[in-house]
Structures are given as structure tokens and as C-alpha cells.
């Protein structure tokens, strides 16, 4: 059975509103359709179809602008942002707030042919437009945003890097940080020979550590980290301690200390080698970084 087109679906809905809470047409659109989209391509196709329909029909129906805004919010969710879908008629005119856990972006998705109201606080808002317009604000076209998100989704880029690229700020430090992270991701092997990466790697915020330990890594890596809380262990001692926890979870045990190198590599993969190391080697011993031992202890052993 072929998928119904977004235009036909919206025609069936007739009107998108959020005045009735969980029983509103918007809630049904999100829960029964939009949240079921799990890849950039499906959402991209719907956005392109809406923009094409508006251009071909010259419609001024807000139904399509609202669906367009919700679809763009869904794109942000798919690539890793925590997204607040703003009410349609909110005073600020925002369509969404994209959160990384530590920072956020105020977003207004617009189709200026239908609505082109610029808010007083536009300097703090990222405008996402269906095509190039001279509106006197910082904006990105949805076509370019989709290209960026498609690329990001294919390499599992940290969402904090995206925030640094997209945030509409006059502080260029954020953008430069993101550019440096991208350079590290692409050219780390070459850079290691010439640059002290300790001057580039970023500190872990509590929220980032919590997300990393409880949602990003699997049990062996989690116990690899937590077994070293207040401990300095040899490879054999550490494997024994990890396996004690894995046995309780009926999880496959580590075969030998050789597996610890793979776990170190797994950690680097998950935080892309940009963050400061959580586990360090001192000769034959493994230990948590002194800087993060107490924070990990507080998060994992409350």
C-alpha cells in the first residue's frame, strides 16, 4: 500500500490547530504521522512537496505553513535535538525551540509568501525560509538545512556542533568551536602530530555526561567507567570488576584485558574525540580523570 501524500493528508485534516490539547488536530498529526518518521529523507520529501504545492497554487492557507514548521521541527529531532513544538499562535511567533541539553536555539520556520512578520527579538531567532528572501534577519533556507542535516545524520555528528553552526549569535567563539570540532573529526590523525589537542578539547557539562552514560553507551562501556569511580585498577582487575556487573545483567562477559582497548575506542567514537578524556592510562593502571571522578560518582551513585 503506497504512502498517502502529505498534501492529501493535510486536505483530509482540513485545519491544524492546537486549541484542544491532546485531542487537537495537531496532536493527531504529530502522534499518528509525524513522530513515525524516523529518517531525514521521508521528512525532507514532505517539506519539498509542501513548498512545491504552495508555489504552484499560490495558496495562503496557514495549514501548510503550520505543517511545514512541524516537519522542520521533526527534522531537528531526528538529528538529535530535543525539540519543543511551540503553540501555533504564541506571542513570540516561534515555531520551535531546539535544545541540546546545555544550549538552545529559538527557531521560526517561515514561508514569507504567506507570512513574513519579523519579530523585535529577531537577532536571537534562527529563521528557516523556503527560499532566499531579503528580510534583514539571519536565516537559512530549508534546502540548505536539509543538506546539512542529511550529512550530519550520516556521520553521527554531536548535536552541540550543530548548535554552534546554527545559533544566531554575534559571539563567533561558538561558531569557531564548531569549525574546530569538524576539523578534528575530519583530520584528527594529521592534527595529532602537530597540535596539542588538550587546548581544543572541551569540558564535559553535567547534562552531557548524564546523556552519554545513560543513553549513548551500552552496559560494558558504562561499567568500564563506573568501575573506576574512586579506583585505580590494572587491566585484569578492571575486567574482573566489569564482568561482575555484566553477570548480574546476564550480559556477555569480557574475554580479556584486550577488550578494554575496544571500550576506550567505543567511548571516543561516541563523543567524537572532541571532549576531554574520562578514562586515562597511567602505566598499567586505568583511572577516571581526576576532573570528572566526583561528577560521575554523583551521577551514577546518587
By CB atoms closer than 10 A (0-12, 13-18, 19+), residue 21 is exposed
Phi, psi of 206 (to 5 degrees): -55, -45
* Statement: residue 128 has pLDDT above 50: yes
> Taking residues 219-238, what's their average pLDDT?
92
Give the fold, CATH level 3, of 6-157: Restriction Endonuclease (3.40.91)
For the chain, the domains span: 6-157, 206-300
Which residues, in sequence order, are CB contacts of 213 under 8 Å at separation 6+? 222, 225, 226, 296, 299, 300
Chain segment 10-65, per-residue pLDDT in tens: 989 888 888 877 788 999 999 999 999 888 888 999 999 999 998 888 777 888 98
CATH number of 206-300: 1.10.10
In this prediction, residue 192 carries a pLDDT of 57
In this prediction, residue 271 carries a pLDDT of 60
In this prediction, residue 101 carries a pLDDT of 72
Chain segment 148-207, per-residue pLDDT in tens: 888 877 776 677 778 888 888 766 666 667 777 666 666 666 655 555 555 566 778 888
Residue 190 vs residue 249, higher pLDDT:
249
In this prediction, residue 38 carries a pLDDT of 87
* Statement: residue 240 has pLDDT above 60: yes
Residue 133 — very low, low, confident or very high, per pLDDT cuts 50/70/90?
A: confident
Q: Where would I find the H helices in the chain?
A: 6-13, 25-32, 40-57, 62-78, 142-155, 159-166, 172-191, 206-211, 219-226, 235-248, 258-270, 290-300
On whether the pTM is more than 0.75, the answer is no
In this prediction, residue 1 carries a pLDDT of 43
Angle in degrees, 0-180, between the axes of helices 6-13 and 40-57, rounded to the nearest 10 = 70
Say if residues 81 and 98 touch (Cβ distance below 8 Å): yes
> Are the folds of 6-157 and 206-300 the same?
no
Residue 269 vs residue 266, higher pLDDT:
266
Chain segment 71-118, per-residue pLDDT in tens: 999 999 998 889 999 999 888 889 999 998 778 899 999 888 777 666
In this prediction, residue 250 carries a pLDDT of 86
* Statement: residue 291 has pLDDT above 60: yes
By CB atoms closer than 10 A (0-12, 13-18, 19+), residue 219 is middle
Amino acid at each position: 500500500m503506497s504512502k498517502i501524500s502529505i498534501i492529501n493528508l493535510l486536505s483530509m485534516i482540513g485545519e491544524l490547530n492546537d486549541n484542544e490539547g491532546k485531542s487537537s488536530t495537531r496532536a493527531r498529526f504529530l502522534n499518528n504521522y509525524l513522530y513515525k518518521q524516523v529518517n531525514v529523507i521521508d521528512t525532507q520529501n514532505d517539506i519539498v512537496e509542501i513548498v512545491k504545492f504552495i508555489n504552484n497554487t499560490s495558496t495562503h492557507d496557514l495549514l501548510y505553513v503550520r505543517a511545514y514548521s512541524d516537519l522542520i521541527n521533526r527534522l531537528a529531532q531526528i538529528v538529535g535535538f530535543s525539540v519543543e513544538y511551540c503553540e501555533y499562535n504564541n506571542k513570540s511567533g516561534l515555531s520551535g525551540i531546539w535544545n541540546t541539553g546545555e544550549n538552545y536555539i529559538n527557531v521560526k520556520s517561515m514561508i514569507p509568501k504567506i507570512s513574513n512578520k519579523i519579530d523585535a527579538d529577531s537577532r536571537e531567532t534562527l529563521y528557516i525560509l523556503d527560499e532566499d528572501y531579503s528580510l534583514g534577519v539571519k536565516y537559512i533556507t530549508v534546502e540548505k538545512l536539509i543538506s546539512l542535516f542529511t550529512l550530519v545524520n550520516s556521520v553521527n555528528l554531536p548535536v552541540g556542533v550543530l548548535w554552534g553552526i546554527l545559533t544566531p549569535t554575534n559571539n563567533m567563539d561558538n561558531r569557531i568551536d564548531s569549525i574546530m570540532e569538524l576539523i578534528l573529526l575530519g583530520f584528527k590523525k594529521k592534527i595529532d602530530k602537530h597540535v596539542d589537542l588538550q587546548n581544543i578539547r572541551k569540558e564535559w557539562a553535567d547534562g552531557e555526561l548524564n546523556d552519554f552514560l545513560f543513553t549513548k553507551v551500552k552496559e560494558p562501556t558504562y561499567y568500564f567507567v563506573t568501575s573506576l569511580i574512586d579506583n585505580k585498577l590494572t587491566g585484569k582487575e578492571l575486567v574482573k570488576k566489569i564482568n561482575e556487573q555484566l553477570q548480574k545483567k546476564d550480559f556477555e562477559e569480557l574475554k580479556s584485558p584486550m577488550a578494554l582497548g575496544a571500550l576506550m575506542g567505543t567511548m571516543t567514537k561516541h563523543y567524537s574525540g572532541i571532549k576531554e578524556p574520562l578514562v586515562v592510562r597511567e602505566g598499567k593502571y586505568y583511572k577516571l580523570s581526576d576532573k570528572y571522578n566526583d561528577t560521575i560518582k554523583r551521577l551514577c551513585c546518587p
